[in-house]
Structures are given as C-alpha cells and as structure tokens.
C-alpha cells in the first residue's frame, strides 16, 4: 500500500463568484517530490495556502500526516514549512540574522538555532554571505535563504511555491539540485511551477492544474506517453517545396520556420510518407525525430480542456 502524507479530497474554494478550486483531488506519497503544474491564475498558490493552513477551503478536506489542515491546524503547522511565492526574508537583516530570528520563532533552543543556522548556511552555499544584509543578495541567494529558513525546524513536508520563478538558468539548475538533495534526506516536497521542464526534472509525480481542476496526473513519462509516439519534424529551406509539402502531408504547420511536424505512428506510415515526398521530388532540408516534450503535453491538455469548456457552454 502506498503511504500518502498529503491527501486532498474534493477541495473547493471560490472568491465571490470566481471559482478558483473546483473539486481538487490528489495524494502525495511520503518522501516524494510532487509538482503542481499550472499557468498563471490556475490556483496553485491557493492550493498551497489551503494546505499550509493559511486559508480555509469552502468544502472538501485536506490532511497532512493524518491531521486535518483546518481542524487540526496546530498539528499540521508542526509538520510543515512554507516558502511562499514571494520571498519573505527580512532585507535589512543579514542572512544569518534571518535564520537566527526565524529559528527562535520556531521555538528551537538557542544552541540548536546556532547549529541549524550554520548547517543551513553551509548547505545552501551562503556561508560567505552570512554576515551581509539580504538586500545585497542576488535573486538566487534570496531564494536560497528563503528556503533555508523553511528548513530550520526540520519539517516533514515543505511547500515551495514557484521556487525558481525569476531565476536565471544557472541559478535554476542549482536550485534543482538543492531540492533533489532535500528529497534524498527523506523530506516530502510539494512544489508548484509554471515550468514543465522543472516538473520533468524534479518531480516523481506531476499534477496538471487548470481552471481549478487536476486535469492530468502521473509521472513525467506517463504524461509524455499520453500524447503518443515520436514526432517527425521536416524543415524546408525552399519555400515552394514547403508549400507543396503542406498539400501532401497532414501535420502541424509552422509557417515561420517552414516546418511540418507529423505524428509518425507505424514504421509503415513513415515509409509511405517519405515515399510520397520522394515521388514529388520534394527534399526537406532537415529531418528530425523528436520525443514529445512536456510542453507538448501541457499545450495538448490545456487546449483540450478549453475546447471541452467551450463545448459545454
């Protein structure tokens, strides 16, 4: 049997007329990395705020480590930590002072606060900057100190709301490896992200949230498989050849790049396709085989969802 540390059932939340969460269901396995993937306004932060006891859902239940996030919020708080979407560090204090202050507010004793502070500064590569005011930190360092703070009390579950938004690619990679490191230590990580690549890299399980519902759920592989096989990309240098090919082949056309993307299916259909081109003396400038990226999956899922919605309307 799977060991769920977070269980969410039929969670609903509306602000006035605006339904933000429309019956959310999911489970997060203990010790795993779970990514909630969605576009701006999909309801990611709202979900995190309900799970971290900041707000109440209108209906439905959420439990963490067996405790109800609403009725037993005190116990939930002892098991979680939250790193919000916007850094909540004190700009005027140094990195070290921030950690010490939050350690004391976590009601750890003085000795332990000191020890944890030194450990976390080390772990997040901030030892050198420890005595500098946070306002002098780069975006990446700020994010790191923010996450370090949330680890002070050694929580079982940590919530990271868009931990890499606004970071440059290098800092993002660094953050990824730090998050992976945390998971190795047995912490359960619930993160939200708008980046498919991030979910792909980090998450054991991905849930795609759209319009307040989980529209798809699974491992990165499972999601990719859903959209099917490999794609064949044909790019044409010659505009006439491109025009001609569009008439002959059914696929996704990219006018600007003069590219056609085709779902290949069987080997037989692939052979037929190449034959057709050969018979018409059309020569693509490049032929590319490609596994679908999560981007494709995401576009596919969300556009399918919008279609359903407009069909219902």
Partner 1 sequence: MRKSNLYWSITDGWTMSQRSLKHIFREPESLLMAIGLPVAIMVMFVYIFGGAIQTGTDYVNYVVPGVIITCAGFGSSLIAISVTQDMVGGLFERLRSMPLLPSSLMIGHVTGGFIRNVIATTVIFLVALLIGFQPNAGFLDWLGVIGLLSLFMLSLNWLFVAIGLIMKSVETANAATFPMLFLPYISSAFVPTETMPVWLQAFADNQPMTPLIETLRGLLIGTPIDNNGWLTIFWFGSLLIISFIISGAIFKRRKKE
Ligand X SMILES: Nc1ncnc2c1ncn2[C@@H]1O[C@H](COP(=O)(O)OP(=O)(O)OP(=O)(O)O)[C@@H](O)[C@H]1O
Residues lying near ligand X in the complex (CB under 6 A) are found at 15, 18, 20, 38, 40-46, 85, 194
Query: What is the CB-side half-sphere exposure of residue 165 using CA atoms within 13 A?
Result: 16
Strand partners, 289: 232
Q: Which stretch binds partner 1 (CB under 8 A): 36-44, 115-123, 149-157, 222-230?
A: 149-157
Tokens read off for 169? 């690619």
The pattern of x and - marking residues 37 through 76 that bind Mg ion according to CB under 5 A reads -------xx-------------------------------
Binding site partner of 19, from partner 1, Mg ion, ligand X, none, Cβ cut-off 5-8 A by kind = none
Supply the minimum distance, in Å, between the C-beta of residue 58 and partner 1.
12
Among 88, 181, 286, 303, binds partner 1 (CB under 8 A): 88
Q: Cite the DSSP H helix spans in 1-138.
A: 44-51, 73-79, 95-105, 110-123
Shorter beta-carbon distance to Mg ion: residue 38 or 284: 38
Q: Count of CB atoms within 10 A of residue 297's CB?
A: 25
Distances (CA, A) of 308 to 30, 39, 228, 296: 34, 18, 20, 18
- Exposed, middle or buried by CB within 10 Å (0-12, 13-18, 19+), for 264? middle
Nearest residue to the partner ligand X, using Cβ: 45
The pattern of x and - marking residues 14 through 33 that bind partner 1 according to CB under 8 A reads --------------------
Separation of alpha carbons 49 and 271, rounded Å? 53
> Strands across the sheet with 188-193, in order?
80-83, 157-161, 188-193, 33-37, 205-210, 213-218
Shorter beta-carbon distance to ligand X: residue 44 or 143: 44
By CB under 5 A, tell whether 194 contacts Mg ion: no
Shorter beta-carbon distance to partner 1: residue 83 or 258: 83
Supply the minimum distance, in Å, between the C-beta of residue 305 and ligand X.
15
Shorter beta-carbon distance to partner 1: residue 141 or 277: 141
Q: Which stretch binds Mg ion (CB under 5 A): 83-91, 95-103, 241-249, 268-276?
A: 83-91
Cα angle at 144 between 139 and 147, to 5 degrees? 130
Supply the minimum distance, in Å, between the C-beta of residue 48 and partner 1.
10
Separation of alpha carbons 54 and 41, rounded Å? 18
The pattern of x and - marking residues 42 through 81 that bind partner 1 according to CB under 8 A reads -------x--xxxxx-----------------x--xx-xx
Separation of alpha carbons 185 and 287, rounded Å? 44
Among 106, 192, 258, 261, binds partner 1 (CB under 8 A): 106
How would DSSP label each residue in 138-166?
-HHHHHHHHHHHHTTT--SEEEEESTTTT
In the complex, the residues that contact partner 1 under the rule CB under 8 A are 49, 52-56, 74, 77-78, 80-88, 90, 92-93, 97, 101-102, 104-107, 133, 149-150, 153
């Amino acid at each position: 049997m799977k060991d769920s540390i977070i269980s969410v059932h039929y969670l609903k939340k509306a602000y006035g007329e605006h339904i933000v969460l429309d019956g959310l269901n999911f489970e997060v396995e203990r010790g795993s990395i779970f990514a909630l993937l969605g576009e701006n306004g999909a309801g990611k932060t709202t979900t995190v705020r309900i799970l971290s006891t900041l707000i109440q859902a209108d209906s439905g239940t959420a439990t963490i480590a067996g405790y109800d996030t609403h009725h037993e919020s005190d116990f939930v708080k002892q098991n979680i930590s939250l790193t919000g979407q916007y850094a909540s560090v004190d700009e005027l204090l140094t990195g070290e002072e921030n950690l010490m202050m939050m350690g004391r507010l976590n009601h750890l004793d003085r000795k332990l606060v000191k020890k944890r502070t030194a450990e976390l500064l080390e772990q997040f590569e901030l030892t050198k900057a420890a005595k500098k005011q946070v306002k002098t930190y780069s975006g990446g360092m700020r994010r790191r100190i923010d996450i370090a703070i949330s680890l002070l009390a050694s929580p079982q579950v940590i919530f990271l709301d868009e931990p890499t938004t606004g970071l440059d690619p290098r800092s993002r990679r660094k953050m990824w490896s730090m998050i992976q490191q945390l998971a190795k230590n047995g912490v359960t990580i619930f993160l939200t992200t708008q980046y498919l690549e991030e979910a792909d890299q980090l998450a054991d399980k991905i849930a795609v949230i759209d319009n307040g519902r989980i529209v798809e759920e699974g491992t990165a592989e499972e999601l990719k498989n859903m959209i099917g096989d490999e794609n064949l990309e044909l790019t044409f240098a010659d505009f006439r050849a491109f025009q001609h090919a569009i008439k002959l082949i059914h696929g996704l056309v990219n006018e600007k790049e003069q590219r056609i993307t085709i779902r290949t299916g069987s080997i037989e259909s692939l052979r037929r396709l190449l034959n057709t081109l050969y018979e018409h003396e059309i020569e693509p400038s490049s032929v590319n085989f490609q596994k679908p990226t999560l981007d494709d999956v995401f576009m596919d899922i969300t556009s399918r969802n919008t279609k359903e919605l407009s069909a219902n309307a």
